[in-house]
C-alpha cells in the first residue's frame, strides 16, 4: 500500500521547525469491521525518525493510541536554507515510508 507524507521545514533564528502530516490508518486492533463483525488487525506507525543532512535529529516511538493520519511538529537547533530534511517511518506490518524536503 502506498502512503503519502507531506513535510515542511523552515529555518529561523538558528532553529529549524519541521511539520509533517502522514497518511496512515493507525488502526488499534480494537475495532470491528462493520460488515463482517471481525476484528480489524492492528496497523500503526511504530518508529518515526528525522535526519538533517544525514544526521538524526529526532526519533519518536509511537503506538496504537495515535490517531489516524498523524501530524507531528518539532524544532531542532541548526539547519539552513536548502539543507536536507528526511523523515522516515516503519509500521507494525513492516511497511516503511520516507520523504525528503529542502529547508526553506
* Sequence ranges of the domains in the chain: 5-102
- The owner of cell 537547533 is 77
pLDDT value for 2: 76
pLDDT digits (tens, 9 = 90+) for 24-58: 999 999 999 999 999 999 999 999 999 999 999 99
CB within 8 A of 55, min separation 6: which ones? none
Find out whether 60 and 51 touch, Cβ atoms under 8 Å. no
CA dihedral 25, 31, 36, 42 (to 10 degrees): 50
**Of 23, 64, 21, nearest in space to 44 by CA:** 64
d(CA 19, CA 32): 32
Class of domain 5-102: mainly beta
**What pLDDT, on a 0 to 100 scale, did the predictor assign at position 47?**
98
Amino acid at each position: 500500500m502506498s502512503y503519502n507524507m507531506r513535510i515542511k521545514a523552515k529555518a529561523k533564528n538558528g532553529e529549524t521547525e519541521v511539520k509533517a502530516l502522514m497518511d496512515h490508518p493507525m488502526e488499534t486492533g480494537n475495532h470491528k469491521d462493520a460488515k463482517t463483525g471481525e476484528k480489524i488487525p492492528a496497523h500503526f506507525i511504530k518508529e518515526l525518525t528525522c535526519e538533517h543532512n544525514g544526521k538524526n535529529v529526532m526519533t519518536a516511538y509511537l503506538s496504537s493510541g495515535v490517531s489516524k493520519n498523524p501530524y507531528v511538529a518539532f524544532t531542532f537547533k541548526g539547519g539552513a536554507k536548502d539543507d536536507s530534511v528526511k523523515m522516515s517511518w516503519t509500521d507494525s506490518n513492516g511497511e516503511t515510508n520516507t520523504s525528503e524536503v529542502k529547508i526553506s
